[in-house]
């Protein structure tokens, strides 16, 4: 199509000269669609690229996913209730942990501990020996109205009195804080099965820590969680504000992918370039104008644009000459003697327009426009 339209333009000029007709009302130039700029889409936080499937030349729209970055998920190490969330999305975990001891805390489902010793155990070799993990039975020493069950979770070294300190986690029953309980191996609380005595204490909340910056919180204060449940996600580096809704980076503009800088599995730092984009609203037309034709075109001239692929001429766009270079192209051995200058046309593209398309630009002659206006 380019040859046909170029031939048509040359033929029209030739006929005008042969027939002695006045100069054409339009100056005609060959050009192509370019982009006057590129825009980088960068990673707002660091990490490993989990997915990126774009290729050079792909069309991209506002809101399209560009890439996803792997996050570090922090899980609950036990069943519990979220009792304190000190971090917000965007905060650095290290700073929050230094100040509060953890990003958040989990209160254990089993809220009582017993600090015990074998001092009051029944006097036998069997009751003086405590087994880690064994299940035992509790009864308050005051009147026996508070009973429950517990598990031995920690055994310490024998103290100076020859007794063994140990710790229980209460798994059933209700007690008062500071209450004294007897500890038995027999569910009937037989004296011969008593392995010691202890004091009811609070089972401390467990701090949950992390590294990097909090991208997303999955729980809030008061939530009941199970072991293995995701509590929050973090990413490397520092987040500037709370703009990251998830670990997917989305395109902020319409355009064409100029280059892809990241690959799946590669590491990217905060601010690292993922892709470069030719913005759609930055399209313009570049034409090469001989020095002999510079008097035919001026900045501000209105032009008509035809696309060489459009054989029927159905697509007609308008534009304005936005600039003409003041420095000609460097000449080579094969170049003509005339200096060549770049001229640029701004226009509003439609969906069918793509970069590097060839066009013919018609510049309306100012004198012809003035004559037409006088004749009306």
CATH number at residue 136: 2.40.30.10
pLDDT of residue 364: 74
Question: How much is the pLDDT for 144?
Answer: 94
Residue 240 has what pLDDT?
65
Q: In what order do the strands lie in the sheet with 255-260?
A: 39-42, 273-279, 255-260, 59-60
Residue 133: predicted pLDDT: 97
Residues 210 and 290 in one domain: no
Provide the CATH number for the domain around residue 228: 2.40.50.100
Instruction: State residue 65's pLDDT score.
Output: 95
Query: Number of structural domains, the chain?
Result: 3
Distance CA 250, CA 248 (A): 6
Task: Judge if 156 and 224 occupy the same domain.
Answer: no
d(CA 301, CA 197): 99
For the chain, 376 residues long, the average pLDDT of each consecutive 10-residue run is: 47 44 67 96 89 95 94 94 93 95 96 96 95 97 96 96 96 96 97 98 95 93 96 84 72 96 90 94 95 94 94 90 91 73 95 94 68 49
pLDDT score, position 324: 96
Query: 124 near 133, Cβ under 8 Å?
Result: no
State which H helix or E strand residue 215 sits in: strand 213-217
Residue-level pLDDT at 332: 63
> Are the beta carbons of 104 and 82 closer than 8 angstroms?
yes
Residues 194 and 212 occupy one common structural domain? no
**Do 218 and 146 lie in a common domain?**
no
Do 132 and 102 lie in one domain? The reply is: no
Domain that holds residue 81: 72-108+206-235
Domain-located, residue 333:
yes
Domain C-terminal end among 184, 202, 220? 202
Question: What is the phi/psi pair of residue 324, to 5°?
Answer: -135, 130
**CB contact at 8 A, 293 and 324:** no
Instruction: Mention every residue, 6+ apart, whose C-beta is less than 8 A from residue 245.
Output: none
Residues 371 and 285 in one domain: yes
Sole residue written with tokens 């199509």: 1
Residue 158, in any domain of the structure? yes
Clarify whether residues 214 and 323 are in a common domain: no
Q: What is the pLDDT of residue 366?
A: 57
User: Distance (Å, rounded) from C-alpha 243 to C-alpha 246?
Assistant: 9
pLDDT at 313: 84
81: left (phi over 0), alpha (psi -120 to 50) or beta: beta
Q: How far apart are CA 80 and CA 110, in angstroms?
A: 8
Residues 301, 192 share a domain: no
Q: Is residue 170 part of a domain?
A: yes
Indicate yes or no: pTM above 0.85: no
- Return the bridge partners of 41, or none: 275
Q: Tell me the residue ranges of DSSP E strands in 246-357.
A: 248-250, 255-260, 267-268, 273-279, 283-290, 302-307, 317-324, 340-347
Whether 212 is in a domain gets the answer yes
How many CB atoms neighbour CB 228 within 10 A?
Answer: 10
């Amino acid at each position: 199509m380019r040859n046909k339209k170029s031939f048509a333009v040359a033929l029209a000029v030739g006929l005008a000269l042969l027939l002695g007709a006045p100069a054409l009302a339009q100056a005609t130039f060959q050009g192509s669609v370019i982009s006057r700029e590129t825009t980088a889409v960068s990673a707002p936080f660091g990490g490993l690229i989990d997915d990126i499937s774009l290729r050079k030349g792909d069309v991209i729209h506002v809101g399209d996913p560009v890439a996803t970055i792997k996050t570090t998920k922090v899980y609950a190490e036990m069943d519990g209730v979220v009792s304190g969330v000190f971090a917000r999305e965007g905060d650095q975990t290290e700073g929050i942990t230094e100040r509060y001891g953890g990003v958040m805390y989990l209160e254990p489902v089993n809220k009582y501990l017993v600090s015990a010793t074998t001092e009051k155990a029944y006097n036998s070799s069997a009751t003086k020996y405590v087994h880690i993990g064994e299940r035992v039975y509790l009864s308050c020493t005051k009147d026996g109205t508070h009973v429950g069950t517990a598990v031995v979770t920690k055994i310490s070294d024998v103290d100076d009195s020859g007794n063994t300190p140990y710790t229980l986690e209460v798994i059933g029953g209700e007690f008062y804080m500071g209450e004294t309980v007897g500890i038995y191996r027999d569910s009937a609380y037989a004296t011969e099965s008593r392995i010691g005595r202890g004091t009811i204490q609070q089972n401390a909340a467990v701090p949950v820590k992390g590294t990097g910056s909090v991208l997303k919180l999955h729980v809030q204060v008061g939530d009941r969680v199970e072991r293995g449940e995701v509590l929050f996600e973090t990413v490397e580096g520092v987040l500037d504000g709370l703009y990251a809704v998830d670990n997917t980076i989305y395109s902020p503009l319409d355009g064409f992918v100029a280059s892809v800088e990241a690959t799946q599995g590669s590491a990217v730092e905060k601010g690292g370039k993922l892709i470069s984009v030719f913005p759609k609203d930055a399209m313009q037309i570049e034409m090469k104008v001989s020095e002999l034709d510079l008097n035919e075109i001026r900045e501000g001239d209105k032009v008509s644009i035809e696309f060489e692929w459009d054989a029927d001429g159905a697509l007609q766009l308008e534009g304005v000459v936005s600039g003409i270079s003041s420095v000609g192209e460097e000449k080579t051995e094969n170049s003509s003697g005339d200096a060549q200058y770049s001229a640029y046309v701004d226009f509003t593209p439609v969906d069918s327009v793509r970069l590097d398309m060839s066009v013919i630009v018609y510049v309306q002659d100012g004198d012809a426009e003035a004559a037409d206006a006088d004749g009306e």
